[in-house]
Amino acid sequence: GAVVSQHPSRVICKSGTSVKIECRSLDFQATTMFWYRQFPKKSLMLMATSNEGSKATYEQGVEKDKFLINHASLTLSTLTVTSAHPEDSSFYICSAARYNEQFFGPGTRLTVL
Amino acid sequence: AQSVTQPDIHITVSEGASLELRCNYSYGATPYLFWYVQSPGQGLQLLLKYFSGDTLVQGIKGFEAEFKRSQSSFNLRKPSVHWSDAAEYFCAVASTGANNLFFGTGTRLTVIP
């Protein structure tokens, strides 16, 4: 149990376009989901905390207008990278909270050309 | 502010040898401590966690970790490493259970035959 999926696993897009990444909790309901960004050989950096039915809470330095987060249901949160640029290329990981633990998705590799 | 230090970027061990991965944290109160493993193409998997109680924590896959408050450490150990243990290992600290996880930079483990 406690499986989290992400879609797509890999995406390549042109600079200036928008990309949507989905995060789903498959077998449990999650009122809170998290979005992380992982740079090569670096730690996971928390971008934002997503709560179902309310606005996301962004970490300092994360542009909320560039990284739009929607948590419309208890099993789905989406991250939209708007007007993507090459510096947005990264590995994005979501997690869903259940009791006192976060369950992580497999990640999405975004490459912006 | 909380921080996590994993001093070893890369460790190589022989299969069957013992393993210790170091983790030091900085946090004002009693922390919630975690060890995660990340394999290529897979999400982070929780190996073990410490919230309170016995300072020696047993986890999955034969791993254990010991919380030493006096040293601000939470080192991960395994008595006999298997080739399948090769992966990236992350130590993390949180203030309140599963929320606001702060990750170390990770230690990459290579296992040689």
Q: Which of B43, B51, B98 sits opposite A4 (nearest CB)?
A: B43
CB pairs under 8 A between A and B: 55
How far apart are the C-alpha atoms of A106 and A93, rounded to whole Å? Answer: 7
- Reply yes or no on whether the pLDDT at B21 is more than 70: yes
pLDDT in tens, B58-93: 999 999 999 999 999 999 999 999 999 999 999 999
Q: Are the beta carbons of B42 and A43 separated by less than 8 Å?
A: no
CA-based diameter of chain B, in Å? 42
| pLDDT, position B12 | 97
- Reply yes or no on whether the pLDDT at B98 is more than 70: no
- A106 closest CA partner among A22, A42, A32, A45: A22
Q: What is the mean pLDDT of chain B?
A: 92
| pLDDT, position B97 | 64
- Reply yes or no on whether the pLDDT at B101 is more than 70: yes
| Chain B CB contacts of A93 below 8 Å | 43-44
Q: Are the beta carbons of A98 and B46 separated by less than 8 Å?
A: no
Question: Between A98 and A41, whose confidence is greater?
Answer: A98
How far apart are the C-alpha atoms of B64 and B75, rounded to whole Å? Answer: 8
pLDDT in tens, A34-81: 999 998 877 899 999 998 888 899 999 999 999 999 998 999 999 999
Q: Are A56 and A79 in contact (CB under 8 A)?
A: no
Rg (CA), chain B: 13
Q: Which residues pair with A79 in a beta bridge?
A: A21, A69
| Chain B CB contacts of A43 below 8 Å | 4, 90, 103-106
